[in-house]
Amino acid sequence: MNWRRYSRWSTTLASVATTLALLVVLTFVIGRLMPVDPVIAVVGADADRATYLKVQQELGLDQPLYRQFVIFVGQLFRGDFGTTLLTGRPVMDDIVRVLPATIELATVTIILGAGIGIPLGVFAAVNRGRAADHVVRLIALLGHSTPIFWIGMVGLMVFYAKLGWVGGSGRVDIYYEGMTDEKTGFLLLDSLLAGDMDVFWSAVSHIILPASVLAYSKIAYLSRITRSFMLEQLHQEYVTTARAKGVSARNVVWKHAFKNIRVQLVTVVALSYGGMLEGAVLIETVFGWPGFGQYLTNALVIGDMNVVVACTLIIGCVFITLNLISDLLYKFFDPRIK
């Protein structure tokens, strides 16, 4: 038994290592194939030939590709992605600064999205063909078809400019900026740990609208997926048998049918969460949210390849990690999986 367990873990670790290695190679190739000259991005198009060659040598771009790859891997192990054209600081310092903002927004979003979307999907499946089902499907249709940036702008005009119920752009009111020490980078958590309740409630008022707008699209997606999964289970023989034995409708839905779709939903929710790290750029732009997506987009606009390569690698690592966590959670939700 111990040997089998060791073998499974060895296989998993080998799979993760192989995926990471392929990701590193792919990231390196992308960085070299992008139609942007990193030397020009540094020195400018008007630089003379001597300056161009000097910077090219400093960046190691005059070396053969295999040498460049060895240098690239060595820098990765040191956590060195070079400096960014945006701020002139080390890329990793900037990423450490902006990533918590996006993680915080994505976490609140997925809590709202999964907490509302999954029960709605179950509710629609149970009431298939009825008015309630049509309402949920209409909500999902609108969530898929309505541009998210448009919903964000309308939300700002109504709930911020007109009603004043929520905060405006940024993560916190200007008055409170810098008042809380950033121990973790997550403003909601840092303000709570510091006991700065004014800062906390200001942060809540700023995050609730962008998170709700993003959550609406997740509610639309998760409700549709959950409805589809549940309909498949509700037509299975074990459900018919449970009903014939007099099991209550509530238990049939939640203790039997829903129990068998939890593993599938874990993967869907995990990938939805990961997708928000680079996919929330429109909302971050509309709400002036200083996050990872907006940082990556700005780097793409000016051709800052150090940032693009670093962000691409980080996004890939996030998805690998989420998939690994999903695999580990499978056994928790379904003990039959070993």
pLDDT in tens, 287-334: 888 888 888 888 877 777 778 888 888 888 888 888 778 777 767 666
Q: How far apart are CA 193 and CA 188, in angstroms?
A: 9
* 241 has pLDDT over 70: yes
The pair of structure tokens assigned to 161 is 């400019």
pLDDT of residue 1: 47
What distance in Å separates the CA atoms of residue 108 and residue 26, rounded to the nearest whole number?
32
Range from 14-28, 163-177, 190-204 carrying the lowest mean pLDDT: 14-28
Residue 176 predicted with pLDDT over 70? yes
3-state secondary structure of 13: helix
The position carrying tokens 């980078």 is 185
Q: Could you give the C-alpha distances from 215 to 99, 134, 148, 185, in angstroms and in order? A: 19, 20, 10, 22
Whether the predicted model's global pTM rises above the 0.75 cut: yes
pLDDT: which is higher, 60 or 146 = 146
Per-residue model confidence (pLDDT) at position 4: 60
Cα pseudo-dihedral 123, 124, 128, 134, rounded to 10: 140
Is 117 within 8 Å of 228 (Cβ atoms)? no
**Contact, 284 vs 278, CB < 8 A?**
no
pLDDT at 8: 62
Q: What is the mean pLDDT of the chain?
A: 83
Q: What is the pLDDT of residue 7?
A: 59
Q: Where are the domains of the chain?
A: 16-78, 97-333
- Tell whether the model's pLDDT for residue 156 goes beyond 80: yes
pLDDT of residue 6: 57
- Going from the C-alpha of 16 to that of each of 20, 77, 259, 322, 332, the distances in angstroms are 6, 17, 29, 12, 21
CATH architecture of the domain 97-333 equals Orthogonal Bundle (1.10)
